[in-house]
Structure 1
Amino acid sequence: MTGLLPLIEWVGVAVFALTGALVAARKGMDPFGFVLLGTVTGIGGGTLRDVLLGARPVAWIMDPTVVLICTAVSLAAFVSAHHFEREGRARTLLWADALGLALFAITGTATALASGAPPVSAVLLGVVTATFGGIIRDILAGDVPLVLRRDVYVTAALAGSTAFTAAMAVLPLEVAAVLGFVVGFGLRALAILRGWSLPQYGQRADE
C-alpha cells in the first residue's frame, strides 16, 4: 500500500485496539487483558486476510509497528478509562468500532487487490478484515459477536468495500478510498443513530 492507505491502516489498528481495550474495561480486566483484547482486535482481521491471501507474509510479523500501536493504545486506555462514565465508554466503543469497520473494509480490499485477488474476492477479504478482529474480541470477552446480531454491521463493511472496488475502476485510489469509507461509515452511523437492523427470523405460526 502506498500514499494514504498505510496511514488509514494505522488509524484503523489504533481505533480497533481502543474498542478491545474498552471491552476489557467493561469486563474489569488487568493490563494484560487490555493488551490482549486490544491487540487481537487491532490485528485479527488483517492477519486472517494475509493468511487467506497466502502469497504475502502476515504484515505484523514483518513490521511489528501495529503491535506496538495496539499495546500503547491498550495501556493508555487502562490508565484513563476510569475517568469516563460507563455510558460514555459504551458510546465510544460503538462509534470507534464503526470507524474501525469502515477503515479496515477499505485497507483490506486494497491489500487484496494489490495482491492480485479478483474484485469479488477482494471485497470479501475487505469484509473479513473489517469484522474478524471484532469477532475475536467479543468471543474472548464472552459476548455475542456483533456480526451475529441484527445490527447493520457486516452489511456496512460490504457496502464500503464494494463502493471502493467499483470506484477504483474510474477514480484515483485515494479518492476511491475516501468514497468507500464514507459509504461504509455512513451506513453504519445511520444504523446506530436510527436503530436500523436486519430482519430477524421469527417463530413460525405453527410453533
Structure 2
Amino acid sequence: MFDTAAAVLDWMGVIVFAVTGGLVASRKQMDIVGFALLGTATGIGGGSLRDVLLGQPVFWVHEPAYLVTCLVVSALTFFAAHLPQSRYVVLLWLDALGLALFCVTGAERALLAGTGPTVAVAMGVITATFGGVIRDVLGDEIPVVLTREIYVTAALCGAAVFVTLSQVGLGREAAIAAGLGAGLAVRGAALHWGWSLPRYHPRPGRTREEIERLR
C-alpha cells in the first residue's frame, strides 16, 4: 500500500503538473478542451507509462479521482491563467516542483512493486519527466528535456537519493523528504543560475596525412 506521505505527494504532483499543462495551453491560446487535454496528459502521463512498464494496472483506471482532478484543475487554470504576471516563470517553477514530487513517488511505487534499486530510479525519472514531454509536444513547445538546462539529471538525483536512503534503512518519510529536496534543489539551481551539462562539440575530420600515419 502507498503510505500517506507518498500518497499526498503523488496527489500534489498530479495537481501541479495539471496546472503546468494548462499554462502551456494558455500560452497557445487553446480552448477549454485543449486545457483539459494538456492538463490531463501532463498530470497522469508519466505515471501511466511507469505502470505499463512495471506491468501493473494503470493507477488512474482504478482511481478515476486522479482523472477527474486533472480535468477540474485544468478548467480552473483556464479561468485563472491570466493572473500571474509571467506565466512562463510560474510554469518553470511549478514544473520543477512537479518533477521533484514525481521522481520520489515514482521510485516509491516501483520499490513497492518489488523492483530493484536501479529500476526504481529509472521509474522515478520516467514518472517525473514523461508527462512534461507529452505536454510540450502537444503544446508545440520544445520539450524541456531537449534544452540545455538540467532537467532529467535533477529527477535522477532526487530518485537516486530517495532509493539509496531507503535501501540503507533510513525511515521512509526522511528518505522521501531528502529525495524531494535533492530533486527540487538541483532543478531550482539550474533555473536560477542557468546550469547545464557539457554538450558534445563536433571535431574536424582527420586529414589524409593523419589517416596514412595511422595505417
TM-score (norm 1): 0.96
Aligned equivalents of 1:204 and 1:29: distance in 2? Answer: 44
Indicate the residue corresponding to 2:176 in structure 1: 177
Question: Displacement of 1:195 after TM fit?
Answer: 0.6
Q: Sequence identity, in percent?
A: 50
Question: Contact 2:36 / 2:74 at 8 angstroms: preserved in 1?
Answer: yes
Indicate the residue corresponding to 1:4 in structure 2: 5
Residues matched between the structures, number: 204
Alignment of 1:146-185 (within 5 A): 146-168=144-166, 169-185=168-184
Aligned equivalents of 1:69 and 1:192: distance in 2? Answer: 28
Indicate the residue corresponding to 1:81 in structure 2: 81
Aligned equivalents of 1:205 and 1:99: distance in 2? Answer: 41
Secondary structure, counterpart of 2:150 in structure 1: coil
Runs of 4 or more above 6 Å deviation: none
Aligned equivalents of 2:17 and 2:84: distance in 1? Answer: 18
Q: Which moved more, 1:90-99 or 1:142-151?
A: 142-151
Indicate the residue corresponding to 1:26 in structure 2: 27
Question: Displacement of 1:202 after TM fit?
Answer: 2.5
Question: Displacement of 1:104 after TM fit?
Answer: 0.2
Query: Which amino acid in structure 2 is aligned with residue 127 of structure 1?
Result: V
Indicate the residue corresponding to 2:17 in structure 1: 16
Secondary structure, counterpart of 1:79 in structure 2: helix
- Backbone CA RMSD of aligned residues: 1.2
Matched, 1:129 2:127: yes
Query: Which amino acid in structure 1 is aligned with residue 33 of structure 2?
Result: F
Secondary structure, counterpart of 1:46 in structure 2: helix
Aligned equivalents of 1:34 and 1:91: distance in 2? Answer: 18
Q: Which moved more, 1:165-174 or 1:10-19?
A: 165-174
Aligned equivalents of 1:98 and 1:138: distance in 2? Answer: 14
Aligned equivalents of 1:187 and 1:197: distance in 2? Answer: 11
Indicate the residue corresponding to 2:201 in structure 1: 202
Query: Which amino acid in structure 2 is aligned with residue 25 of structure 1?
Result: S
Question: Contact 2:20 / 2:39 at 8 angstroms: preserved in 1?
Answer: yes
Question: Displacement of 1:201 after TM fit?
Answer: 2.0
Query: Which amino acid in structure 2 is aligned with residue 66 of structure 1?
Result: Y
Question: Displacement of 1:206 after TM fit?
Answer: 5.4
Which digits, 9 at most, give the CA deviation of each residue in 1:93-144, with x for residues without a partner?
A: 0000000000000000000000001110010010000000000001111112
Query: Which amino acid in structure 2 is aligned with residue 44 of structure 1?
Result: G
- Larger of the two Rg values belongs to structure: 2
Indicate the residue corresponding to 2:189 in structure 1: 190
Aligned equivalents of 1:82 and 1:101: distance in 2? Answer: 24
Contiguous gaps of at least 5 residues in structure 1: none
Which digits, 9 at most, give the CA deviation of each residue in 1:81-101, with x for residues without a partner?
A: 12333xx21110000000000
Aligned equivalents of 1:45 and 1:145: distance in 2? Answer: 14
TM-score (norm 2): 0.92
Aligned equivalents of 1:177 and 1:37: distance in 2? Answer: 28
Question: Displacement of 1:59 after TM fit?
Answer: 0.5
Question: Displacement of 1:18 after TM fit?
Answer: 0.5
Indicate the residue corresponding to 1:113 in structure 2: 111
Aligned equivalents of 1:91 and 1:194: distance in 2? Answer: 14
